[in-house]
Structure 1
Amino acid sequence: MKIGILGSGLMGGKLGRIWAEAGHDVTFSYARDRAKLDRLAGEVGASAGSVAEAIEEADAVLLAVHWSRRADVLEQAGDLAGMVVLNCSLPLNDSDSALVVGTTSSGAEELAKLRPHARWVSCFNTNPSESFYPVFARKGQAPAPQVMTYGDDAGAKEIAFGLIRDVGFEPLDCGGLHNARFIEPFAMATVELAYVQPGGPALTYRFDKLRG
Structure 2
Amino acid sequence: MKIGILGSGLMGGKLGALWAASGHDVTFAYARSASKLERLARESGGQSGTIADAVDEADALLLAVHWSRVGDVLEHAGDLAGKVVLNCCVPLDEANRDLVVGTTSSGGEELARMRPKACWVSCFNTTPSESFAPVFARKGQEPAPQVFTYGDDAGAKEIAGQLIRDIGFEPLDTGGLRNGRYVEPFAMATVELAYVQPGGPALTYRFTKLRG
Where on the TM-score scale, by shorter chain, does this alignment land: which range? over 0.9
Identify the residue that residue 98 of structure 1 maps to in structure 2: 98
> How far has the Cα of 1:127 moved from its partner?
0.1
Q: Secondary structure at the match of 2:181?
A: helix
- Give distance in 2, aligned partners of 1:33 and 1:169: 31
Q: What are the residue-to-residue correspondences of 1:161-176 with 2, within 5 Å? A: 161-176=161-176
Identify the residue that residue 179 of structure 1 maps to in structure 2: 179
Q: Secondary structure at the match of 2:188?
A: helix
Q: Secondary structure at the match of 1:108?
A: helix
Once the two structures are superposed, residues 2-27 of structure 1 have per-residue CA deviations (whole angstroms, 9 ceiling, x without a partner) of 00000010000000000000000000
Counterpart amino acid of residue 54 in structure 1: A
Q: Secondary structure at the match of 1:100?
A: coil
Identify the residue that residue 110 of structure 2 maps to in structure 1: 110
> How far has the Cα of 1:187 moved from its partner?
0.3
Identify the residue that residue 51 of structure 1 maps to in structure 2: 51
> How far has the Cα of 1:148 moved from its partner?
0.1
> How far has the Cα of 1:56 moved from its partner?
1.2
Once the two structures are superposed, residues 63-113 of structure 1 have per-residue CA deviations (whole angstroms, 9 ceiling, x without a partner) of 000000000000000000000000000100001011011010011100110
- What TM-score results when the alignment is normalised by the length of structure 1? 0.99
**Identity across aligned pairs (percent)?**
76
Counterpart amino acid of residue 162 in structure 2: G
Counterpart amino acid of residue 136 in structure 1: F
Q: Does residue 1:86 correspond to 2:76, yes or no? A: no
Once the two structures are superposed, residues 114-148 of structure 1 have per-residue CA deviations (whole angstroms, 9 ceiling, x without a partner) of 00010000000000000000000000000000000
- Give distance in 2, aligned partners of 1:98 and 1:142: 35
Counterpart amino acid of residue 202 in structure 2: A
Q: For this pair of structures, how many residues does the alignment match?
A: 212
Identify the residue that residue 74 of structure 1 maps to in structure 2: 74
Identify the residue that residue 127 of structure 1 maps to in structure 2: 127
Counterpart amino acid of residue 40 in structure 1: L
Once the two structures are superposed, residues 141-184 of structure 1 have per-residue CA deviations (whole angstroms, 9 ceiling, x without a partner) of 00000000010000110000000000000000111000000000
Once the two structures are superposed, residues 11-51 of structure 1 have per-residue CA deviations (whole angstroms, 9 ceiling, x without a partner) of 00000000000000000000001101001100111000000
Q: Does residue 1:11 correspond to 2:11, yes or no? A: yes
- What TM-score results when the alignment is normalised by the length of structure 2? 0.99
4+ residue stretches of structure 1 with deviation over 4 A? none
- Give distance in 2, aligned partners of 1:64 and 1:33: 16
Q: Secondary structure at the match of 2:208?
A: coil
- Give distance in 2, aligned partners of 1:124 and 1:109: 16
- Give distance in 1, aligned partners of 2:107 and 2:176: 13
User: Which ranges in structure 1 are unaligned for 5 or more consecutive residues?
Assistant: none
- Give distance in 2, aligned partners of 1:84 and 1:11: 18
Counterpart amino acid of residue 76 in structure 1: H
Identify the residue that residue 154 of structure 1 maps to in structure 2: 154
